[in-house]
Structure 1
Amino acid sequence: MPTGHKLSRRTALAAGAAALAAPTIARAQALRWRMVTSWPKDRTGPGISARRIVERINAMSGGRLQVDLFAAGEIVPPFAVLDAVSNGTVEMGHTASLYWQGRIPAAGFFTSVPFGLGPIEHQAWIELRDGQALWDELYKPHEVRAFLAGNTGPSMGGWFRRKLNGVEDLRGMRLRVQGLGAELYARLGAVPMAVSAGDLLPALEKGSIDAAEFLAPATDLETGLPKYASFYYAPGFNKPNGASELMVSLPAWDRLTPDLRSIIAEACRAEHALGLAEAYQTNAVALTEILGKYPVTLEAFPRSIMDAAQAASAELMVELGGTSSLASRIVESYKTALQGLRGWSALAADMARANTRAHLPAR
């Protein structure tokens, strides 16, 4: 019995020591990362997507990877996200690739291209063709990796203080527009202005810009744009897609276990699907509110502007393809996806329009 008593005590002590040690081991393995964004906190669309991605990662990792979220300006300005992730100031960033157009000429293809792929087509290019591999190659010199991480859907054409009758009305117009859309409008005679999401409303209110293209009705309404411009234009030919990106520092990514990498990737994929569905829901509601509450008219761009924009877009694609061998491969891959997917997309759109007409009330 004494021997048995000693063994039991030894076992109990060992079990107690293990129980005390377990939390210490778990704490030692836990990682704490920071994510900066280009958005005001909980901004409809991308701001909410950023928060939900963080919540998913924190929950699915069981505490082994904890991410703290910081809105634009809390650590770095909205257009400094790439630098912050690239130089290791933070481990993650939620933003849009079009912001890096000036530094990385082909970056805009991973958000939106004028007259280009729509949201589902774009996702097919990234995930089912060679888009992700090209994206990885493009960002590797900057020590970051990116994933599709939310989508606000097709954008509207923007808010204008005066009605447009033709291309001549764009000449000299100070227009808030970014990415490849800025290049396009510059070719049409407008003056593109880089204004962050948080500064957009004051700029339009004070008249430091004449027009503003941001996203779609839900985000535009939340931002307050209907208060200071009366003409709401469609289609958003310069931004037919609204993909956000999650950037991860490559050195930080390489230190992760395979399961934590999968958690980040799947958190992004889930948000891309939910964000796009939410965009369709919230934009439908917001457009009805805008047209019912504000002295706003919904306008179609004049044919002359659409024709000039399409011609300028074709020229821009050629020039972008000539900036580097990698850019050339990205342009060709993108154009191949567009040609391969557009036939089905057009047919699906025709079917959707037919179904809509079938359910309209008789006049």
Structure 2
Amino acid sequence: MKMLTTARKTLTVYASALTLGLTAALASAPVAAEKTVTWKVQSHWPGSSSSYEDSLVRLQKVLEERTDGRLKLQLYEAGSLFKAKDTFNAVSRGILEMGTISPSYAQDKMSLAGIASGLPFAFRNVWEAAYFHQGLGFEQMLRDEAAEHGVYWATDKVYPTEMVIKQPVNSWEDFTKLKIRSSGALQTFLTEAGAAASYIPGSELYSALDSGIVDGAHWGASQGAYSMGLYEVAKYHVQPALNIAGTDVIIVSQKALDKLPEDMQKIVKQALDEQFWVRTNEYLYKERITLAKAISEQGVEVNTLPDDVQQRLTKTAQSLWDEEAKRGDNAKKALDLLKNYLTELGYL
């Protein structure tokens, strides 16, 4: 009996030692590093554009931090890999994992692109556009339509688009003489209104203004103009805004998103939803201080369009809204939603 008890004690000691040894071995064993995923991101913003740093670099830092370095974004400036208008297709096909575009660059794929680009002279305040996207469901409509092309759509921000011009507009005749760099629905609108509007990539915009190829341009509003150096050659900042819209969009390959672990997918989507509000509010703040800085330091003047010019532009704008509804059932539904909303606001 004594021998049996001694054997049991000995086995217990051995078992305890073995357990402690295994525990120590496991604790000291190197933990396998989690896989790091790198996404290529083609921007439509040149590196000099304020949104390249404030939107894209911000998102890069947020995603790397919140995934503990498991997701990294490799950023490429406008035109580095693809032309701006080819980015949607590259992301749709999974050649690029992520990109930034203007909705107007996807008009051949998205029936809602023209409305997303911003119908001219529709909203009067930024909060109205933000609520239309997030409160009334327009953002989800865009996301659903983009999903048909294997793209996850996330509006970066909503903000005003305002022109800069080399000579002030004091009459309708002055307006109709303008040659303006534009894109998407605004390009059509400005041309229909009587100006000569044409598309020029952001990387060529400064030289086009400087050389007189165009007399004016829009690249966001005051921040875009300031960061691109446009005020150096165009001293007049035009108000009111041509439109207020989600003119910048972050697009993600659904294939790339689906390959991520579930927790990382959630982080990406939450970061993109958050980005909308952070950047919309930040943009408004920076608009105010940037325009004030341009006025005080570079001699920029605000050119408020005469009432008769605004009236003519508004009439032209409303006639073009209905054209967007002809692009498909989704577009008609979105335009009806917009018109009902503007009626509630007392604008129609």
TM-score class, shorter-chain normalisation, is: 0.7 to 0.9
Aligned AA for 2:342?
L
**Selected match of 1:8 from 5, 17, 25:** 17
Structural mapping, 1:242-321, within 5 Å: 242-321=246-325
**Selected match of 1:241 from 238, 242, 245:** 245
Match of 1:358 in 2: none
Match of 1:187 in 2: 192
Contact 1:98 1:111 in 2 (8 A): yes
Aligned AA for 1:205?
D
**Structure 1 pair 123/257, CA: closer, same or farther in 2 (3 Å)?**
farther
**Structure 1 pair 90/183, CA: closer, same or farther in 2 (3 Å)?**
same
Inter-partner Cα distance in structure 1 for 2:262 and 2:135: 21
- The RMSD of aligned alpha carbons is 2.6
**Selected match of 2:138 from 111, 131, 143:** 131
What's the secondary structure of 1:323's corresponding residue? coil
* Distance apart, 1:91 and its partner CA: 1.0
Equivalent pairs, count: 337
Inter-partner Cα distance in structure 2 for 1:242 and 1:134: 13
What's the secondary structure of 1:22's corresponding residue? coil
Structural mapping, 1:1-363, within 5 Å: 1=10, 4-5=13-14, 8-9=17-18, 12-13=21-22, 16=25, 20=29, 22-24=31-33, 26-27=34-35, 30-41=36-47, 43-101=49-107, 104-117=110-123, 118-151=125-158, 153-156=159-162, 158-171=163-176, 173-236=178-241, 238-340=242-344, 342=345
Q: Which runs of 5+ in 2 are unaligned?
A: 1-9
Rg (Cα) greater in structure: 2
Contact 1:119 1:243 in 2 (8 A): no
Inter-partner Cα distance in structure 1 for 2:20 and 2:199: 68
What's the secondary structure of 1:205's corresponding residue? helix
Contact 2:166 2:234 in 1 (8 A): yes
Q: More deviation in 56-65 or 7-16?
A: 7-16
* Distance apart, 1:7 and its partner CA: 6.0
Q: Tell me the TM-score normalised to structure 2 length.
A: 0.86
* Distance apart, 1:143 and its partner CA: 1.6
Cα offsets for 1:43-79 (capped at 9, x unmatched): 2135421111121111112233332222222322333
Inter-partner Cα distance in structure 2 for 1:19 and 1:119: 56
Inter-partner Cα distance in structure 2 for 1:83 and 1:208: 30
Aligned AA for 2:297?
K
Q: More deviation in 86-95 or 290-299?
A: 290-299
Aligned AA for 1:69?
L
Inter-partner Cα distance in structure 2 for 1:70 and 1:265: 21
Contact 1:34 1:68 in 2 (8 A): yes
What's the secondary structure of 1:142's corresponding residue? coil
Aligned AA for 1:264?
V
Contact 1:167 1:188 in 2 (8 A): no
* Distance apart, 1:16 and its partner CA: 3.5
Inter-partner Cα distance in structure 2 for 1:103 and 1:258: 29
